[in-house]
Amino acid sequence: GPDQQSNSGGEGVGDFPKTPKWKFVFVNHVTSNPFFVPTQYGAADACALLGCEFQWTGSKTSIAGEMVNATNAAVSAKADGIALCVVDVNAFAKPVDNALDAGIPVVSYNADGAPGKPGTNRLAYIGQDLFTSGVRLGERIAELVESGEVVGFIATPGQLNIQPRIDGAKQAIEQSGKSITFNQIASGAELPQELSTIDAYSQGHPDLKGMFAVDAGSTEGVAKVMAKYKLKDKGVASGGFDLVPGTLEGIKNGHLDFTIDQQPYLQGFLPVLSLYLYKLSGGLVSPAETNTGLLFVTKDNVDPYLTTKTRFEGSDTKQQLVERSGAIGHG
């Protein structure tokens, strides 16, 4: 019957018909940041699966103008799809419209404008809900700290992939009604600088009750400083975002209470999939809003991240089947 016929498939990958080698352009705001290494692996794996290719480009230092240029170049080069980090609510409206006008599908990933204001007419957002993740962070802080001084480190204030988190945290702390003073401190764009900033801050504030961070580098810095001065023993709470090695180490050794995973691998894998399906279906399968999640990693569930090096965390390049066993943790 007709079912069998469809199973015999087309001449493309899997069961799909033969398609051109579509090329999708990922426009990123911090192209060389380790956080996005698994994102690139995700995109690469999806491309290998589907027989397409992707280009990783944008700005190294979060400059909207450079990202606009890269987007425009992708339109000129007639890319088959664009995945974009919308780190500015205004700047990308026109380039995205241009791309859509030229028939190029666009999705956003990792950052999507300000809360309630996506800033572009992209087809869908694939990534964490940043403001919500900040709210969850703030709730967690209010759980861990009764009152007093708490600091939130942010690498580059105002950046829309991290600033909403701090804003969300602030809001949640205020709403908790506890007498916590929350200070926002810029820690700088590179790791050694972040480390030094956090170190000095902790020295200057002996009464600190909590140290938190909203980006990968600052979180790692918090972990190291907590360990250096054994601040856990003094009752300082701590936590942050993402899963770079130093952070995981800190969780394991108990210096860091938690870190929040946002599944960067999926932020590369899913956009390729969405764009591919859009092309394949002639636009009938339109990309869907996808929340890549918000997973608290604590001492209880950190082990697998440490014991295995995988593409999914960016810590290894090789393809492998990661075995797991036992029950799956749940609420």
Partner 1 sequence: MIALRRIGDEFLKRREASILLVAIALMAYFQATTGIFFTESNIVNVSQYVAATAIIAAGQVLLLVSGEIDLSVGNVYTLAPFLMHYAVDFWGVPVIPSILLALVLSALIGLVNGFITVVLRVPSFVTTLGMLFLISGITLITSNAYPVPIPTAADAFAPWLGAAPWAEIIWALLIIAVLHAVLTSTRWGLHTIAVGGNLLGASEAGIRVGRIKIGNFMICSALGGFAGIIEAFRIDSIDPTAGGTGIMFAAVASAVIGGTALAGGSGTIIGALLGAVVLGVLRDGFNLIGVDAYTFDLIIGAAILLAMISNVHLARLRRAGRT
Binding site for partner 1 (CB under 8 A): 23, 25, 28, 31-34, 37, 55-58, 60-65, 68-70, 72-78, 88-91, 93-94, 154, 156-160, 163, 183-186, 189-193, 195-197, 199-201, 203-205, 217, 220, 224, 229, 244-246, 314-315, 317
> Are the CB atoms for 208 and 149 separated by under 8 Å?
yes
Question: Which is nearer to partner 1, 25 or 294 (by Cβ)?
Answer: 25
Closest contact distance (angstroms) between CB of 284 and partner 1 is 27
What length does the chain have? 331
Question: Which is nearer to partner 1, 256 or 294 (by Cβ)?
Answer: 256
Q: Which residue has the tokens 């492998």?
A: 320
Question: Which is nearer to partner 1, 248 or 294 (by Cβ)?
Answer: 248
Record the tokens describing residue 174, joined without a space: 């205020």
∠ CA(65), CA(67), CA(70), 5° rounding? Answer: 115
> Are the CB atoms for 106 and 120 separated by under 8 Å?
yes
As a dihedral over the C-alpha atoms of residue 74, residue 155, residue 220, residue 108, rounded to 10 degrees, the angle is: -30
Closest contact distance (angstroms) between CB of 252 and partner 1 is 13
Q: In whole angstroms, what is the distance from residue 314 CA to residue 267 CA?
A: 13
Q: In whole angstroms, what is the distance from residue 208 CA to residue 237 CA?
A: 9
Question: Which is nearer to partner 1, 25 or 273 (by Cβ)?
Answer: 25
Closest contact distance (angstroms) between CB of 160 and partner 1 is 8
Give phi and psi for 122, each to the nearest 5: -50, 155
Question: Which is nearer to partner 1, 17 or 158 (by Cβ)?
Answer: 158
Q: Which residues contact 157 (CB under 8 A, 6 or more apart)?
A: 163, 166, 184, 186
Q: Which residues contact 143 (CB under 8 A, 6 or more apart)?
A: none
Question: Which is nearer to partner 1, 132 or 193 (by Cβ)?
Answer: 193
Question: Which is nearer to partner 1, 63 or 144 (by Cβ)?
Answer: 63
Question: Which is nearer to partner 1, 11 or 101 (by Cβ)?
Answer: 101
Closest contact distance (angstroms) between CB of 196 and partner 1 is 5
Closest contact distance (angstroms) between CB of 222 and partner 1 is 13
Closest contact distance (angstroms) between CB of 321 and partner 1 is 21
Closest contact distance (angstroms) between CB of 200 and partner 1 is 3
Closest contact distance (angstroms) between CB of 245 and partner 1 is 6
Question: Which is nearer to partner 1, 68 or 130 (by Cβ)?
Answer: 68
Closest contact distance (angstroms) between CB of 322 and partner 1 is 17
